[in-house]
């Protein structure tokens, strides 16, 4: 038991450093011209339900997160653009409702950012 406590204390204190004694070097020099920008979040979903009579579809976005209301998506089938939808809500879990703006959309089609 005593050896175990000694090992834990040595491990904890080994990671500490005295003020002013650490490596202290900056990771990047100030004034450099390098700028890091985050990548563009690309939302992609899949059509899970269609209602041609009421002119809407239900989209599943899985783990990519839900899009904002009003966002437009192009609908693709086998790599060809077949329609356009606009997210109108409501949304729940990973699903959201979108109004069909243009095209004939089937279950299984892909929704990609316009």
Taking only the tens place, the pLDDT of each residue in 40-58 is 567 899 999 999 999 999 9
pLDDT at residue number 65: 87
Report yes or no on 102 lying in a domain.
yes
Q: Is the peptide bond preceding residue 9 cis, with omega within 30 degrees of 0?
A: no
Report yes or no on 25 lying in a domain.
no
- 114 band by pLDDT with thresholds 50, 70 and 90: confident
Report yes or no on 56 lying in a domain.
yes
The answer on pLDDT for 99 being more than 60 is: yes
As a whole number, mean pLDDT of residues 23-43 equals: 62
Mode of pairing for the β-strands spanning 44-51 and 110-113: antiparallel
Domain enclosing residue 59, as ranges: 44-113
The pTM of this model reads 0.63
CA atoms within 13 A on the CB side of 14: 6
Report yes or no on 6 lying in a domain.
no
Q: What is the CATH number of the domain that holds 51?
A: 2.40.10.170
pLDDT at residue number 21: 58
CA 30 to CA 27: how far, in whole Å? Answer: 9
Report yes or no on 9 lying in a domain.
no
More confident position, 38 or 61: 61
- 85 band by pLDDT with thresholds 50, 70 and 90: very high
Say what percent of the chain tops pLDDT 90. 57
Residues whose CB falls within 8 Å of the CB of residue 50, separated by 6 or more in sequence, listed in order: 56, 57, 58, 105, 106, 107
Report yes or no on 2 lying in a domain.
no
Report yes or no on 26 lying in a domain.
no
Residues whose CB falls within 8 Å of the CB of residue 93, separated by 6 or more in sequence, listed in order: none
Report yes or no on 17 lying in a domain.
no
Number of domains in the chain: 1
């Amino acid at each position: 038991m005593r050896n175990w406590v000694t090992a834990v204390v040595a491990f904890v204190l080994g990671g500490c450093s005295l003020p002013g004694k650490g490596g202290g070097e900056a990771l990047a020099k100030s004034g450099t011209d390098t700028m890091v920008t985050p990548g563009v979040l690309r939302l992609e979903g899949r059509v899970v339900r269609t209602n041609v009579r009421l002119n809407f579809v239900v989209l599943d976005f899985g783990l990519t997160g839900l899009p904002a209301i009003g966002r437009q998506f192009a609908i693709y089938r086998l790599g060809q653009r077949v329609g356009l939808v606009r997210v109108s809500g409501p949304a729940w879990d990973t699903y959201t409702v979108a109004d069909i703006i243009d095209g004939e959309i089937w279950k299984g089609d892909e929704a990609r950012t316009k």
